[in-house]
Structure 1
Amino acid sequence: MNRRDFMRSGLGGIAAAATIAHSVNAANATAGTDTPALEISWLGAATMLIAFDGFTILTDPIFGEGKETYFMADPNAMFDLKTGPTARYHARTTVFPGIDLSSIDLMMLSHLHEDHFDQKAEATLPKTLPTIVPSADAAKLASKGFSNQTPLDWGDSKSITTPNGKITLTAIPAHHSVNPQVNAMLGKGNGYWLRFESGNWQKDVYWTGDTFATDTVMNAVRNIGRPDIVIPHMGAVGTTGPLGLISMGAEQVLDLSAKLDHPNILPIHHSTLPLYLEPVSRLIEQADFARNRIDLIAEGSTIRYS
């Protein structure tokens, strides 16, 4: 079975308010300041709008809603690994906040599983939209008609000049499982290191993609430096199926944070879909509030880092 098609083919309250970052409405996020800033809007699942110096990046778009949000195999269901799971429609339990497609300058994809690039996004987005894609997914994305792509393999970088600064994007290894055989089945994806610069101002963001803190991943990250912000994919997906854990839970996120010297944690890839088995409240419950800052925002909200 083709590993990239494995997933598609047959196959309460939160206490500790001090750890919750202030979030603002997206419409007011830039009001009243000329200071360089990075603004991140979370639109649910792994979908974000990352805005810096007039340039906006869309990540892993999920635009569907309702009971038939996307069509994909269910990694949480039991199945025979030799034959693969049965694909079905999956629900979204939240309302998609909406998006202004004209505001997007670049799309970044961690990988092409349908819970990261759903059928509605595929049908809605302009096929000429500039797109950063893992090299392993370049041919598949091209087969969907997307013609303006820049494939990045692990370690590859792309720089973008903005009016007052620069954005540098570097592909980081992403291991969908700590089990090498399962990891191979699920295909090669990317995390990304995003560096935003304006004069002497700089912010470093590590967007993990679907990964765990394996030695390969950690060596790649440490070769670049310490991020100011880590954006982990959570949900503890797969724990009830034969693949085992294929996205981080709270324990793995906090372990990653410790290995990175405790940057701000902006958790995504939780709550939106029933696919996610672990509630994000577990992260708050297990955090060491003296060391971990959890920047928890609601879907449709924007956080500003200046």
Structure 2
Amino acid sequence: MKRVFLLVALTLAATFSFAQGKADTKASLQLVRNATLILDYAGQKILVDPMISPKGAFQSFAGIERNPTVDLKMPVNEITKGLDLVMVTHSHPDHFDEAASTILDKSVQLINQPADSEFFKKEGFINAETLDYSRKWNNVRIHRIDAQHGTGEVLKMMGKTSGFVLKAKNQPTIYIVGDAIWTDEIKKTIKKYKPDYIIVNSGGAVVPGYENTPILMDEDQTMALIGESGKAKVIAVHMNALDHCRTTRDSLRQKAESLNIGVDKLIIPQDGEVVKL
């Protein structure tokens, strides 16, 4: 009988140790392309905003060339295998494309914003969940944050977008801003959640005919965010992949260097690059 109790105790201890080890796993972020990210977070594989079409698969946004303007640096099955969760900030094709809808398992757990609830039902995702405010998922607290995808008439055209804040024990707090311009609401979100990392879409995109009304943060707005980022490191993405994005990795780095902002504060990953968090 003592042997039985000992065996049970050892089994429970091993299970607890494994669970703890999973929770304590070091987090990482991999930029796939544009705003498509793979997060290794609290032992879970999370895919954010999958645009996984080949180069030139869909229409131009600015009349310059078809999108995406660059190929993926990794096989699609490497991106989609073993997923625990898909998070979609909004359903524009550069954040959730036809290829993602076709290739992803329709039973994958997916979190979307309220404005896209019907979209994912029509696409047939049976485990799509609309997140209004906040929920706990596999020991990860996920908060949805409203984002502002432009101003005035352009904002009406672009529609609703969101960001997400992720928090978990023994993990860095991550704020995925989503498609947004710099606003006081983002500043308030940073002060409220005190993220360790802020992922910002810095492509400086514009809509033809409204070239003076950005729909994403550009160099200047990204610098304004950095000025209010507190302890957070800023990771800039959504560049060098779409024809309506005017801000490039080079122009953003040049702007940062002119203000003495170094790589210890602003990280600008290349496609396929993994950033340890």
TM-score under structure 2 normalisation?
Answer: 0.82
User: Which secondary structure does the structure 2 equivalent of 1:112 belong to?
Assistant: coil
- Paired position in structure 2 for 1:188: 160
Contact 1:77 1:241 in 2 (8 A): no
- C-alpha deviation, 1:96, in angstroms: 4.0
For 2:56 and 2:142, how far apart are their aligned partners in 1? Answer: 35
Report the equivalent of 1:227. 195
C-alpha deviation, 1:77, in angstroms: 5.2
Question: Contact 1:61–1:117 (CA<8 Å) still a contact in 2?
Answer: yes
CA root-mean-square deviation: 2.4
Alignment of 1:20-59 (within 5 A): 36-59=25-48
Provide the identity percentage: 23
Q: How does 1:170-181 map to 2 (within 5 A)?
A: 170-177=143-150, 179-181=151-153
Task: Please list, as runs of the form range in 1=range in 2, the aligned pairs for 1:73-222 lying within 5 A after superposition.
Answer: 74=61, 76=62, 89-98=66-75, 99-100=77-78, 101-153=80-132, 156-161=133-138, 166-177=139-150, 179-197=151-169, 201-222=170-191
Task: Indicate if the aligned counterparts of 1:173 and 1:220 stay in contact, CA closer than 8 A.
Answer: no
Residue equivalent to 1:289: 260
Structure 1 alignment gaps of length 5 or more = 1-33, 79-87
Question: Do the aligned partners of 2:24 and 2:171 also contact (CA within 8 Å) in 1?
Answer: no
Q: Is 2:67 aligned against 1:67?
A: no
CA distance in 1, matches of 2:122, 2:148: 25
Name the SS for the 2:205 alignment partner: coil
The Cα offsets for residues 5-55 of structure 1, whole Å up to 9 and x where unpaired, read as xxxxxxxxxxxxxxxxxxxxxxxxxxxxx9641111110011111012321
Counterparts of 1:124 and 1:113, CA distance in 2: 17
Q: How far did 1:240 drift?
A: 5.0
Higher RCO (C-alpha 8 Å, min separation 6): 1
* Cα shift readout 1:252-284 (whole Å, capped 9, x = no counterpart): 111012122252111111112333222112221
1:169 Cα shift?
0.9
Q: Is the CA contact 1:63–1:96 (under 8 Å) kept in the aligned structure 2?
A: no
Q: Which has the higher helix share?
A: 2
Question: Which sits farther off after the overlay, 233-242 or 118-127?
Answer: 233-242
Please give the per-residue CA displacement for 1:37-87, whole angstroms capped at 9, x wherever unaligned.
11111100111110123211001101111222x34x72x359xxxxxxxxx
Higher gyration radius (CA): 2
